[in-house]
Structures are given as C-alpha cells and as structure tokens.
Structure 1
Amino acid sequence: MTDQTLALDRLGAGEAGQLTFAQRVDYLKRFGVHSQSFSTLQPNMDYFDVPGVGYIAYMRKWGLTFVLSDPVCAPEDFPVMLERFHNRHPDACYIQVSRPVVDVLHQRFGLYGTQFGSESRIDLGGWSLSGKKKQIIRTAVNQAARSGITVRERFSDDHTRQISEAWIRTRKVKSNEIRFLIRPMDMTYRENERHFYAYQNGQAVGFIYFDPIYRNNDIISYVPNISRANADFRQGIFYTLMAHAMSVFQAEGVPYLDLGLIPLSLDQTTEPQEARLLKRILHGLYDRGNFLYNFKGLEFTKSRFRGERFKTYCCHRRGLPALEFLAMLKLTRVV
C-alpha cells in the first residue's frame, strides 16, 4: 500500500493532518497547474491539508468559507479531497475552479457550478507580434520605444510602492489592493517570481510581477498577477512589458503564458449545472458594473493577445448566493 493510499484512507476516516509550509511548496511544484495555485500561498490563507496527498486553500468572511482555485493535488485525487473538505465545510463556495472540480461538486453534492469568468493561455511556441489582430500591441511597443521606454528584468524593489499607490488612485477600487483573487504584491513566499520593470529616463514607470505555474516540478507557464503603471503612462506600458517578458520566456523554452482571470467574461449559453438567475445577474453586472471594476477594459486588453480561452467557475450551494457574493466582494476588498 502506497503512502498516498494510506493518506487517503486516513482522510476517509475523517482525519486531516497539518502540512508544513515547505511541504505545501512541494505540492505546489508538483501539482500547481492552475493559474491561481501560486496565490494559494498568499498570507492569511487557511488550509485543509492531507499529508501525502495535497491541500485546499481557503479564506473565511462573515462565517462563510471561500475556496480559491482547484485543490493542489493530483487530479485523480480531486474527488476524495473535495468530498472530505465538503463534509467539513458543506456550505463553502469555490471560486475560480476548473470544470473537473465543478463536475465532482455538482454530481456528488448537488452544488451549482456557474461560470465566473474566463481564462486565456498563449502557446509561446507559436507566439509572435505579427498579424492584424495584434496591431494594438505593436503600436504600443513602437510608441514606448519612441518615448524612450525600455524594459529590464529585476527583482529589486524599484519605486514599486510609489508606482502602485499612484496607480491605485486611478482605479475604480481606490481604498486597498484587491486580495484573495489577486494575491498581494508583498508575498512572504516569492520563489521563482519574475519581475519586469519599464523605465523612462532611468526612472521606473511600470512593472509586472509574474508567478510560476508548475507541473511535475517544472515551470510550464507564468501568469501576470500584479501589474502597475505610473498614472502618466497608462497607455501601452502593459503591452510593452508583456511583449518583452513573453519574448524572454519564449527564448527560455517556457511552453505557455497564462493571462489569468478575465472576470465576468461569460459564454451566452447556460450549462445545465449553472444557476440561471445568477448567470443573468452576472451578465448584467458585466454590462453595467464598470463603476465597480473595469471588466470590459480588462477583457479587451487580454483579448489582444489572442490566447486560447476557457471557462472558469464558481460553485455554490444556493441558486442565488447573494450573501455569499457580498461577503466575497468584502473579502476581496472590491467593496
């Protein structure tokens, strides 16, 4: 009997152990294929740990439980991990999870699985800036070059906080950095982060932090989780930083680049396990909720990279989880 089988047997009996942080990092590097897997190690997370198998990361707000991302374990262990977690937290909501997680939670426990947004992945093997649909990116890169903007990879803190605070003042959400769905800029764990800065006249005017995505201890992709630009240089800096970083990753042989969550970018078709009323409300929020968050602008920007789109979901007990969504907005500091 393998160690993993023994661990699952213990879990089946209702026991869950406690992993060390180093052990969670080990599971991240083996099974962290989700774009939010790295973010599961952000500060103030709680964990449902199963030594020998993996972990589930979550936060609580107003007595409600919110799981972030897929379980960090082998995909074949999703059913037993989710079953035991559900037994302990039957009213939990699951945010930004994949279709295999939706299938387990819907088929076994009757939870709804409603599309929460989309994600996008770029195959760097075939990536280039050529083509009519990437004209906006090329224009931004050329304009940045004419303005004397250069990009360098650095890991030092180069006016990061000043740029970030100025950037936040230009956003819809001005009081705090969003957390949970976007991990904080200052992480205790930062292994294999990549930082790219844009400079003009020797001064940093923007940056992007990329987080690694793992499979079997190899980095298979990066995702831009933190991006900021000086308020005077909003146009084009993101495209310029991204184009430079992608060329670096491509030269290193990294297979993919993930663009992360595109919130409320929804398919018009309603799937059988989705909550129909909630789906209509989310469509309406996308259409009329830009005062809360720049949903349309973010979707437009990420769509310029022409990545392969796929759905991401939230799973919930009630058909209209109004309290749960309000608690999540508070948890993430959107409101």
Structure 2
Amino acid sequence: MMNGTSLFLGESQEDIASERDARLRHFLGRHGRGCMAYSTLQPGLEYFIHDALGYLAYLPLHHPLFAPGRLHVVIGDPIAAPADYEALLDAYLAAPGAAATVFLEIGAAFADILARRGLPVNEMGIEWEIDLPAFDSDLRGPAFAHLRRWRNKARKEGVEVAEGRITDLDADELIALSRQWLQRKGGHEFIGLNRPLLLENEPDARYFWATREGRLLSLAIFDPLYRDGQVIGYLHNLSRTLAEAPHGTNDLIVLEAIRRFQAEGREVLSLGLSPFAEVENGPYPHRAYLTGLFRFMFRHCPFIYPFQGNYFHKDKYRGRSFKVYLASVPALNLYRVLGVFKALKVF
C-alpha cells in the first residue's frame, strides 16, 4: 500500500487497518459524490492516501504479459475536492512505488487534467442519474410505459418489497440467491466496478428486497453518495434476482426505493455505468482502436456482459446521462487494456 504519510513502527496490523479506514471514511464523507466512491471501500483494493488532500483507490495487478512490472487500475475519480485533483495526482505520481496506472470510469473534470498532460483519453460509456425531486414516481405518460408495465406485472403476481438490514435475512438463502444469479451471469463477478455482496450491514448502505409468500426473490443494495458529510443520494449498486421471479421484480424494488428516498429529501439516485454505451471518438485525443473495440464489445459480446440490455433497461428510467472516460499513465496500449480486463476478472 502506498500512503501520503508514514505509519508508526510498533502498530499492529489491526491498528494500521483501523487508522487507514478512518482516514478513508473521513475523505469519503466529504468528497464521495461519484457513483464509484463507496466502491473504493471494497475488499482487494490498495490505496494512495494523502493526509491533506484525499486518496486514490486501485486494483493492483502483477502479470508476466499484461503487467510485467506492476499495473494499478484506479477505480473512479479521486476521492478529493475537484480543485485538489491535480495536486493529488502529482503526489501519487511522485510517490515511491508508483506504477503504470489506468484511470477507469472517471468524469470530465479529471479527464480534462489528464488530457492537458498530453495523455489520450477514451470514452468508456455513460453513467445515469435520476433527479429525485423531479422524478414522477407515479410513472405517468408514454415515456414510462415500460416501467409501468414491469411494475404492474410484479405487483399483480404478489411481489412485496421491504427494507431492513441485510442481517435480517437468512444468510443461506442469500448465498443461494447470489449463487444462482452468478451462474446465469457467467459464474463470477467482475471486481472493481461492482462491489461484491457482503453479508454484513455496511455504514449508510440501504437494503431492499422482494418476497412472494415469504420466499426471497430479489435483493438490491444502494450505496450512499456523500457531500460535505451528508448522504445526498444513493447508487443502485447491486442486484440479485432469482430466474423464476416475476418480470419487473427488481424494478418494483427500485421504484419503492425511489419513493422512500424522495420522501427523505434525497437529491439523486445513480443507476451507475452502462459500459461502452454511446462510445464516440469524443472531445479528447484518444486511441481510435479502443473506440472500435468498445463499440464491437457493446454490440457483439453479450457472453461477457449484457451491454445492450443494461443500456436499454437503464434508459427506461429517463434519467440524465453523461460520458465517463478512461486514460493511462503512460499512454494506453493494447497490452495495458488487456491488463485492465485481467484485473477486473473479465477473463
């Protein structure tokens, strides 16, 4: 782990981890507005922490072909004030142990900084957000026809939604639900871009689930989005749904969560990333072959991920969308792109 400050000799590993986690949560509570922010706490990540500015979270990779030295895959924007992005980047690049680094799913503010430094910056998809105060939870009008139909079908088939702690649910039932879901999705999770399912209550996360006649059909986890120490909204981070659940079950959960978040005065619900959707050449100098690769994967690689289905479904919520990017120091090459896929466990 790289750090912006040293740790005292004689501290136990538990003390070091506790100190690190406290520092991470301090910055997260102040600057964790991005949809990937809470995911920086997931297991398996390492960190560069600067006491005054914030931190970067990354997946490390050692691989004889794709990362013969070392590769860091940074997850999302820096957890820092945007005005401090550049200073934090400089501190990271100057730190001992710095490695080839790919910045994944970053917003325009950080992409601008990297592009000004002469680095190619490629579009990698779009993120979706719902303005909660403006969202019509009654789903009136033709724009919400799909959502209305899905919601109504689940209701008619007796699906009920509840919120509580994840520990209120039976752990064996949750494990079976998750295992069945993963088997339908290729047998494993992509790490990094999605937090794994943890069978414990996590600070400020919200847990909703659907049942029918007492049987667990679906679980959805919503991660907090922070600004200045306050939870201003949530990311719909994780869903697990049985194959035999009525169509629309997960949407019924999301719509019930929206209704509750609106009543609490929250500002935004993020639906997260649609990978490789609407990828264009973009406003920055970029690698044209990556644009072509991402477009091809979006259209022709559902066996890796349901790219088009993800995009179609999130679009039906009629939220706002905005581009997200990836870049690399040094500049991206094909081996480094394959290294990113390896770090994310795409293959």
The answer, yes or no, to whether TM exceeds 0.5 is yes
The one-character-per-residue Cα deviations of 1:113-140 (angstroms, maximum 9, x if unpaired) are 1111100111111111112121111111
CA–CA separation in structure 1 for the residues paired with 2:27 and 2:332: 34
Give the equivalent residue in structure 2 for 1:116: 124
- Judged with a 3 Å threshold, the aligned counterparts in structure 2 of structure 1 residues 237 and 189 are, in CA distance, closer, same or farther, namely closer
SS in 2 for 1:231: coil
CA–CA separation in structure 2 for the residues paired with 1:324 and 1:209: 32
Give the equivalent residue in structure 2 for 1:288: 300
Alpha-carbon distance, 1:234 to partner: 6.2
The one-character-per-residue Cα deviations of 1:1-43 (angstroms, maximum 9, x if unpaired) are xxxxxxxxxxxxx964466211210110110011010010111
CA–CA separation in structure 1 for the residues paired with 2:196 and 2:100: 26
8 A Cα contact 2:73 2:343, kept in partner: no
Give the equivalent residue in structure 1 for 2:114: 105
- Judged with a 3 Å threshold, the aligned counterparts in structure 2 of structure 1 residues 268 and 116 are, in CA distance, closer, same or farther, namely closer
In the alignment, does 2:183 pair up with 1:169?
Answer: yes
- Judged with a 3 Å threshold, the aligned counterparts in structure 2 of structure 1 residues 136 and 17 are, in CA distance, closer, same or farther, namely farther
In the alignment, does 2:255 pair up with 1:249?
Answer: no
SS in 2 for 1:92: strand
Give the equivalent residue in structure 1 for 2:87: 80
CA–CA separation in structure 1 for the residues paired with 2:228 and 2:112: 24
Number of residues paired by the alignment? 319
CA–CA separation in structure 1 for the residues paired with 2:76 and 2:201: 18
Q: Which TM-score applies when normalising by structure 1? A: 0.90
SS in 1 for 2:88: helix
State which drifts further: 36-45 or 231-240.
231-240
Matched to 1:251, the amino acid is A
1:147-226 aligned within 5 A: 147-155=157-165, 156-158=168-170, 159-171=173-185, 173-174=186-187, 176-186=188-198, 190-226=202-238
8 A Cα contact 2:280 2:291, kept in partner: no
Alpha-carbon distance, 1:205 to partner: 0.3
8 A Cα contact 1:43 1:188, kept in partner: no
8 A Cα contact 1:86 1:92, kept in partner: no
Matched to 1:105, the amino acid is L
CA–CA separation in structure 2 for the residues paired with 1:193 and 1:78: 26
Alpha-carbon distance, 1:272 to partner: 3.0
8 A Cα contact 2:157 2:246, kept in partner: no
In the alignment, does 2:108 pair up with 1:96?
Answer: no
Gaps of at least 5 residues in structure 1 are 1-13
8 A Cα contact 1:278 1:319, kept in partner: no
Cα RMSD (Å): 1.8
Give the equivalent residue in structure 2 for 1:304: 316
8 A Cα contact 1:112 1:317, kept in partner: no
Identity of aligned residues (%): 29
CA–CA separation in structure 1 for the residues paired with 2:297 and 2:94: 32
Give the equivalent residue in structure 2 for 1:7: none
8 A Cα contact 1:71 1:78, kept in partner: yes
Alpha-carbon distance, 1:94 to partner: 0.4
- Judged with a 3 Å threshold, the aligned counterparts in structure 2 of structure 1 residues 225 and 164 are, in CA distance, closer, same or farther, namely same
State which drifts further: 195-204 or 155-164.
155-164
State which drifts further: 298-307 or 86-95.
86-95
1:52-71 aligned within 5 A: 52-62=52-62, 63-71=70-78
Give the equivalent residue in structure 2 for 1:134: 144
Alpha-carbon distance, 1:317 to partner: 4.2
SS in 2 for 1:183: coil
8 A Cα contact 1:17 1:50, kept in partner: no
Alpha-carbon distance, 1:177 to partner: 2.1
Matched to 1:133, the amino acid is A
1:261-280 aligned within 5 A: 261-280=273-292
Alpha-carbon distance, 1:188 to partner: 6.9
- Judged with a 3 Å threshold, the aligned counterparts in structure 2 of structure 1 residues 161 and 194 are, in CA distance, closer, same or farther, namely same
8 A Cα contact 1:117 1:264, kept in partner: yes
8 A Cα contact 2:122 2:284, kept in partner: no
- Judged with a 3 Å threshold, the aligned counterparts in structure 2 of structure 1 residues 290 and 165 are, in CA distance, closer, same or farther, namely same
8 A Cα contact 2:123 2:280, kept in partner: no
Alpha-carbon distance, 1:145 to partner: 1.1
In the alignment, does 2:240 pair up with 1:228?
Answer: yes
Which 4+ runs in 1 deviate beyond 6 A? none
CA–CA separation in structure 2 for the residues paired with 1:137 and 1:15: 47
